[in-house]
Amino acid sequence: MPAASARFFSGSATIGIPFHFLSTNCTPENRTEFMKRWLVGLLLVGWLVSPAEARKPNILFIFTDDQAPWALGASGNPLAKTPHMDRIAREGAYLPNAYTVTPVCSPSRAALMTSRYGTEVGITDWIHPRREAKLGLDPKFPVWPRELKKAGYRTALVGKWHLGRQDNQHPTRYGFDHFMGHRQGGWSPVNPTLEKDGTNRKFEGLTADVLADEALAYVRANRSHPFLLCWHTRAPHARWLPVAEEDMAPYKGVDVPIPNPDYPKLDVPRVKRMTREYLA
């Protein structure tokens, strides 16, 4: 189930809001209006951080993949080492009772973009790259990155898209000026092949670091102009290894607790090993 956080930069002040994507009681007729109001509220929060600051706030939107609530230090789990995300929760707002409308890659991402259920946009499960090569989010739907672009923001998506692999479903059709990442759902955790500037390229290093470097470079290059950066990681989605040595070190030899260890025929050592890899 994807998790997300938004962080706003306005002068020297910051505010962050981490959340699992909210389900709402809006009717289909009102959901577009709800999305617009949510976007206005998003911007107002950023402006309220520093009332004296006249410029629009920069927005960094972080979207993780398959991150359970207990895989966040702010949730109270001492084994979850997420200091930077914990800081966003501590300095902003932490919403533990907000939920994704569909805990699967593609429909949850479609809901995030459109504020509509997957059944409304024709995406009800993760998009298979071979069996559903032409399936994707129809660009006709209103999406909030496009609204920010209309408002004068520079916009970028770094990381996972998984809302269509065809050219007419490219992230740039939904309001993003810049895209670096993968149109499909999966990639290797090391030495990935990713799209940048419209061309697929082989990158060296851990995928998480490659994407982080791209995100940081975008912030540095655009910090003098209002920007939206959506940083969509695939972590902590499987497969997990390899990871940086410093990330694995806290879990070596740790006997991690797991739910229902007495479940019939459960391979407890394997589950514990996978839990350590997941947390790393």
Among all residues, which ones are annotated catalytic?
Answer: 105, 162
Instruction: List C-alpha distances in Å: 54 to 10, 49, 162, 218, 261.
Output: 9, 11, 36, 22, 56
Smallest Cα–Cα separation from 19: which of 81, 88, 96?
96
Termini Cα distance of the chain? 18
Q: What whole-number distance in Å separates Cα of residue 178 and Cα of residue 227?
A: 11
CB 143 within 8 A of CB 116: no
Within 10 angstroms of residue 159's Cβ, the number of other Cβ atoms is 28
Smallest Cα–Cα separation from 163: which of 115, 122, 198?
122
CB 46 within 8 A of CB 10: yes
Q: What whole-number distance in Å separates Cα of residue 238 and Cα of residue 65?
A: 9
Token pair belonging to 5: 């956080």
Contacts of 22 (CB under 8 A, 6+ apart): 95, 98, 99
248-267 b/e (C-beta count within 10 Å ≥ 16 → b) = beebeeeeeeeeeeeeeeee
Q: Is 230 left (phi over 0), alpha (psi -120 to 50) or beta?
A: beta
Token pair belonging to 101: 């409308």
224 in helix, strand or coil?
coil
